[in-house]
Amino acid sequence: MSVTSPADYTEKIPNNVSLHEDRRLQRALESWQPDFLDWWQTMGPSLPTQDVYLRTAVNVGREGWAQFGHVPMLDYRWGIFLAEQDPDRRVGFGQHKGEPAWQKVPGEYRADLLRLIVIQGDTEPASVEQQRNLGATAPSLYDLRNLFQVNVEEGRHLWAMVYLLHAYFGREGREEAAELLRRNSGSSDAPRILGAFNEETPDWLSFYMFTYFTDRDGKYQLGTLKESAFDPLSRTCEFMLKEEAHHMMVGTTGVDRVVERTAQVMIENDTDDVAALGAIPLPVIQKYLNFHYSVSLDLFGGETSTNVANYYTAGLKGRWSEDRRPDDHRLTDDSIMVDALIDGEIGELEVAALTGLNTDLRRQYINDCRGGVNRWNKILADGGLPQRLKLPHIAFNRRVGAFAGIEVTPDGQQLTAAEW
Ligand SMILES: [Fe+2]
Ligand SMILES: [Fe+2]
């Protein structure tokens, strides 16, 4: 089955996976489609979307980069697009390293793979729900277009995960696909699985911070799944990552513009107190940053995890840039220092590298986040301003992992519950 063909938009579900060759799968997905469209109607953008043009995938291409065409929002069609298959691909890590990549789900890993796909799938529609009302307060048509673009692509990422569920996990997969539309962000009886995806995105600075910090978590999670020995999951995530880059660009440049405006008003009026002058004060921007960064750190899970160690050993989920790591890609003899609470104090603890993989991924993410902060600080420095933004301490506002039980200031000072 060739997957190098351009997306076929004459089909009910546009795809590059030759869906018409598998009638059962096609019927199953076509029966999920109206439920998805219902969900989009009730939980998707609340603002009418006419006159907004969006990019849509037309080819995932041999050059390894997506080609996009443009359609009006109302004609946007969600489809199933996987990156090209490499017939010689081999497992890159863990106990199956060097064996051919899997085209089917091995029975022994079925439950774990299902869980990983469901957790990833659950985040995609959640952000659409969180951003539902932002259209009403869009600062410009440019921003509105970016918002809808991000929203339709998160909807498509849901399709990507639902395709895997339907194609490879039988009835259980179809049930999980239905559940992905039943849970809703912030719902009291059926919330989304992960905390950050139940938080509100009430305004545009939240949206920019979310797309900078929380979509970036998505980038790192997809990066680990792209390494998966289960080839259809790997190819799905590879294509999702191309779309994800745009979401983060929306966040980066959105915060750029907020900081630029703040700096400009501060300089023109020679004051830090810019709220009454129509700009967002730097301490407020810092608070937004603190919040979105800390809830995104929680998305990486506990500092140590035997589940994640097992996923790695089994070949289900690799590391960020697995093939560029200068080690044996099995990690059975290695160790890592992880963040820990030692006798009530913030410190570090040595553990087996496999157990500390969440920490490894979180650190890659943190380094990446520094890039944005440096960029925003350069705007302040170029304006001649002495103030700087910064990432809060890793223990600040954490609800998951070693620091969940303590309260810490953004500077890393421990507080009593009463002081907090
Ligand atoms: Fe996504
Ligand atoms: Fe995204």
124 alpha carbon – ligand 1 mean position (Å): 5
pLDDT of residue 247: 94
Structure tokens at 74: 């109302």
For the entire predicted model, the pTM comes to: 0.93
Contacts of 26 (CB under 8 A, 6+ apart): 13, 19, 20
Distance, CA of 291 to CA of 358 (rounded, Å): 20
Q: The tokens 């060097």 sit on which residue?
A: 98
146 alpha carbon – ligand 1 mean position (Å): 14
215 alpha carbon – ligand 2 mean position (Å): 5
* pLDDT tens per residue across span 324-374: 999 999 999 999 999 999 999 999 999 999 999 999 999 999 999 999 999
Distance, CA of 11 to CA of 165 (rounded, Å): 20
pLDDT of residue 3: 44
Q: Confidence class of residue 67 from pLDDT cuts 50, 70 and 90? A: low
pLDDT of residue 64: 44
Calculate the average pLDDT of the chain: 93
Q: Is-contact 185 197, C-beta < 8 A?
A: yes
Asked whether the predicted pLDDT for residue 246 surpasses 80, the reply is: yes
| Percentage of the chain modeled with pLDDT above 70 | 95
Taking alpha carbons only, the member of 288, 178, 181, 160 closest to residue 225 is 160
Cβ atoms within 10 Å of 306's Cβ, excluding its own: 11
The amino acid sitting at 91 is V
Asked whether the predicted pLDDT for residue 40 surpasses 90, the reply is: yes
pLDDT of residue 76: 81
Q: The tokens 């970016």 sit on which residue?
A: 146
101 alpha carbon – ligand 1 mean position (Å): 24
Structure tokens at 150: 């991000």
332: DSSP letter? T
Q: Please give the residue that has the higher pLDDT: either 125 or 1.
A: 125
240 alpha carbon – ligand 1 mean position (Å): 7
The ligand with the least distance to the CA atom of 211 is: 2
188: DSSP letter? S
Q: Name the β-bridge partners of 352.
A: 335
Asked whether the predicted pLDDT for residue 239 surpasses 80, the reply is: yes
pLDDT of residue 48: 76
Q: Confidence class of residue 57 from pLDDT cuts 50, 70 and 90? A: confident
pLDDT of residue 2: 40
374 alpha carbon – ligand 2 mean position (Å): 22
75 alpha carbon – ligand 1 mean position (Å): 21
Distance, CA of 75 to CA of 80 (rounded, Å): 16
* pLDDT tens per residue across span 263-300: 999 999 999 999 999 999 999 999 999 999 999 999 99
362 alpha carbon – ligand 1 mean position (Å): 18
336 alpha carbon – ligand 2 mean position (Å): 30
Structure tokens at 30: 């076509």
Q: What crossing angle do the helices spanning 357-382 and 306-314 adopt, rounded to 10°?
A: 100
pLDDT of residue 73: 72
Helix/strand/coil for 235: helix
Asked whether the predicted pLDDT for residue 6 surpasses 90, the reply is: no
Residues 41-68 as b/e (b if ≥16 CB within 10 A, e otherwise) read: eebbbebebeebebbbbbbbeeeeebee
pLDDT of residue 29: 95
Element (H, E) at 395: none
Dihedral sign from CA coordinates of 407, 410, 412, 414: negative
The ligand with the least distance to the CA atom of 123 is: 1
Asked whether the predicted pLDDT for residue 49 surpasses 80, the reply is: no
Contacts of 75 (CB under 8 A, 6+ apart): none
Query: What is the average per-residue pLDDT within 205-228?
Result: 97
The ligand with the least distance to the CA atom of 247 is: 2
Distance, CA of 314 to CA of 151 (rounded, Å): 33
Distance, CA of 299 to CA of 304 (rounded, Å): 13
Q: Name the β-bridge partners of 339.
A: 348
The residue length of the chain stands at 420
Q: Is-contact 358 317, C-beta < 8 A?
A: no
219 alpha carbon – ligand 1 mean position (Å): 8
pLDDT of residue 86: 94
C-alpha 144: how far from its chain's center?
20
Asked whether the predicted pLDDT for residue 88 surpasses 70, the reply is: yes
The ligand with the least distance to the CA atom of 159 is: 1
The amino acid sitting at 283 is P
Asked whether the predicted pLDDT for residue 254 surpasses 80, the reply is: yes
Distance, CA of 220 to CA of 226 (rounded, Å): 10
pLDDT of residue 1: 40
* pLDDT tens per residue across span 170-200: 999 999 999 999 999 999 999 999 998 999 9
Cβ atoms within 10 Å of 249's Cβ, excluding its own: 14
| Percentage of the chain modeled with pLDDT above 90 | 84
Q: Confidence class of residue 58 from pLDDT cuts 50, 70 and 90? A: low
Lowest mean per-residue pLDDT among 67-81, 196-210, 272-286: 67-81
281: DSSP letter? -
